Amino acid sequence: MTGKTLRTTQGVGHTYDSILDTIGNTPSVRINNLAPKGIDMFVKFEAANPGGSVKDRLAVNIIEAAERSGMLKPGQTVVEATSGNTGIGLAVVCAQKGYPLVVTMADSFSIERRRLMRILGARVVLTPRAEKGFGMYRKAVELAEEHGWLLARQFETEANAEIHASTTAREIMADFEGQRLDYFVTGYGTGGTVTGVGRVLRVERPGTKIILSEPANAQLLGSGQVQSRSEDGSPTASHPAFEPHPIQGWTPDFIPAVLQEAVDNHYYDDLRPVPGMAGVQWAKKLASQEGILTGISGGASFAVAMEIAQKCEPGSTVLCMLPDTGERYLSTPLFEDIPEDMTDEEVAISMSTPGYHLA
């Protein structure tokens, strides 16, 4: 039936008071061409958020929780360490609400992320890649202490998992009401998604298996080694199992306190390592075969979801988290073999009519 009738839209029936009111209610989208026969596969498409990623959710809740508690004063600067998506989300929120934002970020992360944050009004302080995620985290702490800025604390704050329990999980529950939901697959950065969604699914959909993923060459949870941390939950050192990996936004070089709740409370049923290049390959397949543009982290989660889908019983339903859009990966391995100039095939197409020219 698809394509036989003209598509129409009706609007949402109301206007929005600000861009922040468009955060959440992201779609669960069926996978039609890549899904194994007899398996219902869906992706939670977080690129539909205004800042292009799932991190918009925690960004708005961190700021509004700080407003409610009185910790954030009018005009006060916010500072946070981020690999990019949280910084972009915070930049959207702070631009709308009128708070200056300073982001600390290792210089190994994509240039597009820096430019996106800066066009949204944030200032970006780069830290040496050799110091890894812990280095950018430590710099944010130093700046907050020195200048009296609000440290967003995405890796420790209760506001992180809280927003996923109250929005992400509720959307999943509504989308699959009365339907099977056998598997939910996600990776982790801060751990907010798996912790918040896990809180709800464990109670309301206990039959749903939650599958957590991490980079094959940086298996912090898989190593079984405990993270050293201070009383407030913040890390005191890099985790010994960490190695640099290409899945930007996943797995910093420490186990966040937010994620630790999911570990301690057994919010996931299985932990699957995934190679970084598998994330690149599946992100490309999602783009070229489903028209779904996601980043390397989304591709990595989908790689694990495909492993599950290929082995689970017929009729199963698999939902995979796609954290962000692929456009902020232009300078990463995701796009390194995507040409700028015409390929031989494209030249041949151009030359197939008399009015061709070579650029």
Nearest residue to 137 (alpha-carbon basis) of 79, 67, 200, 78: 79
DSSP letter, residue 102: E
Instruction: Tell me where in the chain the CATH 3.40.50.1100 domain(s) lie.
Output: 19-48+169-329, 55-151
Nearest residue to 117 (alpha-carbon basis) of 98, 137, 102: 102
The pLDDT of residue 249 is 86
**Tens digits of per-residue pLDDT, 168-214?**
999 999 999 999 999 999 999 999 999 999 999 999 999 999 999 99
Cα 33–179–204 angle (5° rounding)?
A: 125
Give the chain's mean pLDDT. 95
Domain covering 55-151: architecture: 3-Layer(aba) Sandwich (3.40)
Distance (Å, rounded) from C-alpha 50 to C-alpha 34? 27
Distance (Å, rounded) from C-alpha 58 to C-alpha 167? 10
Mean pLDDT of 250-263: 94
**Tens digits of per-residue pLDDT, 294-325?**
999 999 999 999 999 999 999 999 999 999 99
Mean pLDDT of 33-52: 98
**Crossing angle between the packed helical segments 257-264 and 192-204, to the nearest 10 degrees:** 30
**CA dist 6 to 12, 29, 32, Å?**
19, 20, 20
Encoded tokens for 51: 């800042």
Mean pLDDT of 248-277: 95
DSSP letter, residue 228: P
Domain covering 19-48+169-329: architecture: 3-Layer(aba) Sandwich (3.40)
> Looking at the DSSP assignment, which residues form a beta bridge with residue 40?
317
**Tens digits of per-residue pLDDT, 103-117?**
999 898 889 999 999
Decide if pLDDT at 359 tops 60: no
The pLDDT of residue 134 is 86
Contact 51, 84 (CB under 8 A): no
**Tens digits of per-residue pLDDT, 336-357?**
999 999 999 998 988 898 876 6
Name the range with the highest mean pLDDT among 1-15, 47-61, 105-119, 121-135. 47-61
- The beta-carbon contacts of 201-208 under 8 Å, at least 24 apart in sequence, are 201/169, 201/172, 202/265, 202/267, 204/173, 205/173, 205/176, 205/181, 207/182, 208/181, 208/182, 208/183, 208/184
Which string of DSSP letters, residue by residue, matches 244-290? --S-TTS--SS--HHHHHHHHTT--SEEEEE-HHHHHHHHHHIIIII
Decide if pLDDT at 57 tops 60: yes
Nearest residue to 165 (alpha-carbon basis) of 301, 258, 85: 258
Decide if pLDDT at 52 tops 70: yes
Which residue's entry shows tokens 């995620």?
A: 133
Distance (Å, rounded) from C-alpha 319 to C-alpha 308? 10
* Dihedral over alpha carbons 292, 293, 294, 296 (to 10 degrees): 110
Decide if pLDDT at 242 tops 90: yes
Residues acting as catalytic residues: 55, 297
Which string of DSSP letters, residue by residue, matches 121-134? T-EEEEE-GGGHHH
Distance (Å, rounded) from C-alpha 260 to C-alpha 216? 19
